[in-house]
Structure 1
């Protein structure tokens, strides 16, 4: 619906709603504010001026963004209590090399693909290939007039993906003049420098019939390295151990990597570190010793492990160039044309430690998984590796091995990481207008968006070239020269690789085996839509208003990897190319029926909406929404809604052929004997290889290599169908009219409940194995078709060789909570003859429930109270304004949270002196802003501020826990992993 959006001047002070304040706060201000413009409030497409919002809406306006500290609009939105942990942001995506630096929004923690992002009420192209997740780097903050956020199902009004809610960015138009801005920020540690420059220009033309507004922006956010923070300077690990009544967590530091740059060489065939040769610093490549002390806990106290934190990032460097424009032209009073354009280039660079090579990945199971002790040279004679020290050769021979396996950090190759360049282009053009005395509005538009990604990842190796380079010999024609054994490989540039000791690999060998990964992806979106809304006829209680429209949308995505990556030959798992597209045609209708007016209540109305969609992938879907509002009097508004929303699967979920994974799968047949009872035992014994091992050994028992030797591919599923969500909201808005003229206030309280059924999750490999062997239809079912066991001719006969899996509609998500928003504005001059005015705003969310069922029929995983789903969260802002001076103090509170899903009691945590829960944490930001007026015929705003004013350290959540973000030692999508920062800047308006 459309309503008058008002801004209020209280004793010369602009009282702006903060992040998280419901639109009900604006409702209260309507009584004394002056009209500025009509806008569409997210949650309805009905044009009906003055209609109060039934759907709870949170608003960030331009003043809020100016007084905030974030240069990326996504960071501002992700501080709202209604926002969950973002899938990607600048501090949690360093290890996701394809998506490093992406910033998205995740309402109600239901995942980014269940939050619909709009710009001026229209869809925005995705920034993550194969997904609907929008990269908010592509949306310029300085071009935004306000942000409207609704939570709850809005699919009937806006279409698929609006399960958790909608974020609508409304951009500036009708701007006249020039606005130049600049900002600089640096952390308290002197790193992470940020530079931000913007130029906004606008002008009317053609006798005020048209306006063109354009924005140019540049942002450069510097890196923050893990090594430059005390918390993250040294490798650590988190672990848990089980008590009778739950799990208890602990934190260990230092906990260095056992893949050292000098190599660790196994001469016993077991995993015992004490029998592993390694090197310590010394002459040449180092001093060879016959044991390995990872963390310096042995008698010598010398650590031979590797500190990965020397290379890792807390914050990814991000560089952005932005161009945005809004142009419109009024042909007459009834018809206007408009064009919107956006172009953004974002460059990011992730950095992490050098590649950890395991010789088993090079040689497989042959020769103890390592360099053979004896192999043929080019003349056909048996030789040993000329680089291998005699001590290592003799020890391996004495233990009856035929090869020396090793692990080694490839430090000579430099750090790994990826450089990503993303370009987003979007244009919208169309016509809009009104008729019948402006009581009907219409618009027709075409939207084209495209995101391209070019990625290069360094520090990887060519597995085939590595195998050739590790088998070397002395050149018989040039004594003392070492060369590769294979003559064909030598013709193609093979250079021998020495892995024994520090910095032993020559630059030539490094160049030969290096193989950078490349990835290129393109996402395209095409949308045609037409809408019309207005008053159909008058009823006793008011006009019956309707809105209806059609939308035709096409989405496509393609991601192409280099040939080695596709085949899994560059030291990473095989990752296929992914290509797919889908189309959808939709029709929707919405009606608002006035029920009562000036009776025992001031007014009451019923809103109904429905949408019918025809997908090329999942077929026909339908959604609906019903909402009721009762305005009891000038002070109280009651509101409620019930809706069914849908989300159709994305391109990756449908068409990903499967990315290779190596993980330890729990074989349900492990431990089965001839006497074991039950369906699983019977099905396992039906496998000939398993039956043969039981007959020979009495039990099917798997060795450690067999347990760890399972591969598989996790991919999409073309048989997916849509997710369905039932959402409910009930609440009230209190806008007291009985307060003194010096005080205005509003309070809103809303209960919300969202239940997602048939949620699309990846079925785990363990679940595939259990469902196969636990089924009465074994082996003729869809799960058994995904399992391959080693044949009788293989040493691992009967063990799991490959277990494949993919996406399926097998999950459920249920969440509910209460939102509270308070908005107070106090004119101190009017009340106490004290100069100035203050405003205070609060947005609070209490999470009542958050449960996930990963596989239908399983017990739900209760995630309420875990990190990212704290029971209590709020943001609060206190502002004081005195003429041209504004001072703001903003607080963000995150309640006490569990480290992981556990029922352990606080008493156990205290008794065993371990950290099971994080403490509640409050962040404070401060800004001072002063306006210099009539400077060069314009105004200049000077501002300075501090983020995380009290330098609050985040709770330590170490590597080893599923929600830890590697390199940050915390959950960086929830907590501030950088620390205190200072900034200053100006905005000049002419």
Structure 2
């Protein structure tokens, strides 16, 4: 009898998955004898999908197409166990460290950090984004080439590698294509901004079984138009007095001054109302404050291009070879407010000194005649504009098949991720700009004359400011087979190994970066690093009884720069009756510091929020110290000195899960899985809020210049302490079966977080994060995605809801009467699909059906104000249209 190849078995996985969520993967019609053994995420042993003891969520491509989900980040936002959603909007103003992100989007299972979520493409690694070296940029995932997404909601360090602490996300592409499909889709918001367009074409030829080969490729182009803060009411301003919100900057147009001779602060434009609405008066000291939110993007303009190709060759009935190639590009153009320039010196000799003839600047009472210290934001220079260009390439050459009774799979993989940042508008050369003020050429209090305009143009700063590259080169191999017969079936074993070389190179153009303090890059330095990772692993599956299965796996990893570790995992599956399945697992994890975390040099960047210097402006009141300067020391972004740390210890974790799946009737399945994760020696920067919030404890971190003026807070990467979190995942599926009115399926996939607590330092107090904004984000108590599908003949319809509970807001420096509770938030999407014409599929629908605006938030972590762009939809109601033709 002819043996069936491994790839043929794998193709049958689609049939095994059923309706696509975790509950179905638990049972997946285990009673059907025709079911083939396949490999699923979370195990190296080929088995029936129903046999797995791991909680697995499967999201089929056709399902997220119906919901109008156009990017990998959007798809993962519908997975409740994914706690954070970092999209292209987070490129605006940089990350929480003030550094550009390169437009990166990332996933974060269980809220443990994107660096503890392992992202795979067809079961193998992708090079991490070069700017943090810790997580994959989801923008490079070829969505149009996907067959499904499998999310393992459990630690898998024993199978895939030590960093799979929070779980594994495996993007799986189509196995083969033998036709040509052309697809176009558009997203048209009700309000202006954020239009989306996508076109893609896939084509393939050759039947692997008949012809011995199959070639296919997918090309995809996706474009998102800019959405500015002024195009939505909820994001127009950072000044909302009725909500206690006043997130503004003391570096403004017209400029504020401080006279060290008389200790007087003021602004010549204060009397005429500053430059409203862009800057507003502050009556307490006669200055102006910049409402910088008015001049930023909610969503930057973005263009994405991806090509994925695969060639498969049948060597004989037992062996085949394949080649995969991915190339992706991500082009993001983001805008923030014009460049703030601080500590400028305006001498009495300048015609723009208040009251001097010829300058047009009104006199100010109480000036001493000494040079003024000025903070000024030159709006005539335009918005700061950064063009982030990212690109990724991944080549995999592999073979798989049957040899000596073993199912084997091996491949050589080369993966590279690159990113670069270009200043394309707004930025100025700090030294030349300051000289223009000192020499009386530039007017910090009003519009420029012809000479000033020409000089401002001459100090414009343009060009490539930084580039980064990470590269993974590796070879992996694994094999599995059945062994002896046990009471419940065949014992099976899998063994494998991996050799991987990781390289990172980060280059900063000091000629440009050193002249742009407002970029957060002025103190950045170039760095590089590399390491080798070796691993061997084994897995044993033992069906001890007919209804009891035990799975044991262990993996040994050796890092050339972080030592070695052995991580076991034990899984148990028990099905006492046809209607009830019990499952559980326990495992350990180990995440070595990334090359960036170990090797990054010290860089001086802006703090994310505004603060008062605890010595020179305690409690927001300027001190009598002669060096105190309210324009520098009070209610202003300060500086932090951040770096890697060669002495970092690895993060270690323990994970436990236990679940039950109940199927009382074929039409209903309920799954509940409890999970518990304990992490120690978490690697991160100490939150800046913690440092400024407890000066007595962290006073040694406040670095000062020789004269006592603030230089920066010291905030290197370090092992902070422990994280403890637990909760329950719930999956419910109801199926009507075929009726006269069609078939209806309802699924609900939810995550309840019981506890999330963390320490800012070893043996320190725990901070509770569930249902409240702590450090840089909230942790939602409950999230779910509910979907109602209907199908009859050529017609189908989908109604989907995503829901998040409310939480206590950040409330940083918010008066007691304005403390905010962010309410719960839900989005509804509705779509219909028609397939009644051969080869043609038409889908139309409405995203954000109820036109739900983001709820108010006083968070100050991100540049967008008035709402939190990470967890909400800024676009609003939008029409979604998609057409696909196959021939």
Q: Give the structure-1-normalised TM-score.
A: 0.79
**Secondary structure, counterpart of 2:431 in structure 1:** helix
Contact 1:322 1:342 in 2 (8 A): yes
Instruction: Name the counterpart of 1:501.
Output: 446
Cα distance between partner residues in 1 of 2:495 and 2:822: 49
CA offset at residue 197 of structure 1? 0.5
CA offset at residue 111 of structure 1? 1.1
**C-alpha distance 546-263 of structure 1, shift in aligned 2 (>3 A):** same
Instruction: Name the counterpart of 1:635.
Output: 579
Of residues 815, 822, 832 in structure 2, which corresponds to 1:918? 822
Instruction: Name the counterpart of 1:595.
Output: 544
Instruction: Name the counterpart of 2:339.
Output: 355
Cα distance between partner residues in 1 of 2:206 and 2:617: 76
**Secondary structure, counterpart of 1:75 in structure 2:** helix
Instruction: Name the counterpart of 2:831.
Output: 927
Cα distance between partner residues in 2 of 1:4 and 1:423: 30
Contact 1:811 1:856 in 2 (8 A): yes
Of residues 668, 673, 689 in structure 2, which corresponds to 1:745? 668
CA offset at residue 154 of structure 1? 0.8
Report which stretch shifted further, 106-115 or 197-206: 197-206
Cα distance between partner residues in 1 of 2:201 and 2:560: 43
Cα distance between partner residues in 2 of 1:69 and 1:769: 43
**C-alpha distance 823-4 of structure 1, shift in aligned 2 (>3 A):** farther
CA offset at residue 91 of structure 1? 2.7
Of residues 511, 530, 541 in structure 1, which corresponds to 2:477? 530
Is 1:814 matched up with 2:728?
no
Contact 1:612 1:623 in 2 (8 A): yes
Is 1:660 matched up with 2:604?
yes
CA offset at residue 395 of structure 1? 5.5
Cα distance between partner residues in 2 of 1:195 and 1:292: 34
Report which stretch shifted further, 90-99 or 39-48: 90-99
Instruction: Name the counterpart of 2:3.
Output: none
Is 1:733 matched up with 2:701?
no
**RMSD between aligned residues:** 3.7
Cα distance between partner residues in 2 of 1:617 and 1:68: 45
In structure 2, the gaps of 5 or more residues are: 1-5
Cα distance between partner residues in 2 of 1:203 and 1:81: 38
1:488-887 residue pairs with structure 2 within 5 A? Answer: 496-504=441-449, 506-516=452-462, 518-564=465-511, 567=514, 570-572=517-519, 573-597=522-546, 603-661=547-605, 713-736=641-664, 739=665, 744-763=667-686, 794=707, 796=708, 803-829=713-739, 834-866=740-772, 868-887=778-797
Cα distance between partner residues in 2 of 1:394 and 1:924: 56
Is 1:431 matched up with 2:392?
no
Instruction: Name the counterpart of 1:160.
Output: 162
Instruction: Name the counterpart of 1:179.
Output: 181
**C-alpha distance 657-407 of structure 1, shift in aligned 2 (>3 A):** same
Cα distance between partner residues in 2 of 1:562 and 1:8: 53
Of residues 278, 292, 295 in structure 1, which corresponds to 2:280? 295
Cα distance between partner residues in 1 of 2:282 and 2:646: 52
Rg larger in structure: 1
Instruction: Name the counterpart of 1:372.
Output: 347
**Secondary structure, counterpart of 2:720 in structure 1:** strand
Is 1:219 matched up with 2:222?
yes
Instruction: Name the counterpart of 1:679.
Output: none
CA offset at residue 538 of structure 1? 2.3
Cα distance between partner residues in 2 of 1:295 and 1:668: 27
Contact 1:769 1:787 in 2 (8 A): no
- In the comparison of the two structures, how many residue pairs are matched? 853
Contact 2:279 2:291 in 1 (8 A): no
**C-alpha distance 443-524 of structure 1, shift in aligned 2 (>3 A):** same
**C-alpha distance 357-855 of structure 1, shift in aligned 2 (>3 A):** same
Contact 1:761 1:854 in 2 (8 A): no
Instruction: Name the counterpart of 2:83.
Output: 84
Cα distance between partner residues in 2 of 1:214 and 1:332: 24
CA offset at residue 594 of structure 1? 2.1
CA offset at residue 980 of structure 1? 1.1
**Secondary structure, counterpart of 1:277 in structure 2:** coil
**C-alpha distance 291-114 of structure 1, shift in aligned 2 (>3 A):** closer
**Secondary structure, counterpart of 1:66 in structure 2:** helix
Is 1:454 matched up with 2:445?
no
**C-alpha distance 340-311 of structure 1, shift in aligned 2 (>3 A):** same
Cα distance between partner residues in 1 of 2:278 and 2:422: 36
Of residues 244, 253, 256 in structure 2, which corresponds to 1:261? 253
**C-alpha distance 568-163 of structure 1, shift in aligned 2 (>3 A):** farther
CA offset at residue 940 of structure 1? 0.4
CA offset at residue 342 of structure 1? 0.4
**C-alpha distance 128-316 of structure 1, shift in aligned 2 (>3 A):** farther
**Secondary structure, counterpart of 1:806 in structure 2:** coil
Cα distance between partner residues in 1 of 2:693 and 2:273: 47
**C-alpha distance 217-3 of structure 1, shift in aligned 2 (>3 A):** closer
CA offset at residue 711 of structure 1? 5.7
**C-alpha distance 330-271 of structure 1, shift in aligned 2 (>3 A):** farther
Cα distance between partner residues in 2 of 1:769 and 1:288: 32
**Secondary structure, counterpart of 1:506 in structure 2:** helix
Cα distance between partner residues in 2 of 1:848 and 1:537: 43
**C-alpha distance 210-714 of structure 1, shift in aligned 2 (>3 A):** same
In structure 1, the gaps of 5 or more residues are: 239-249, 281-286, 363-369, 375-383, 474-495, 598-602, 672-696, 776-782
Cα distance between partner residues in 1 of 2:736 and 2:49: 25
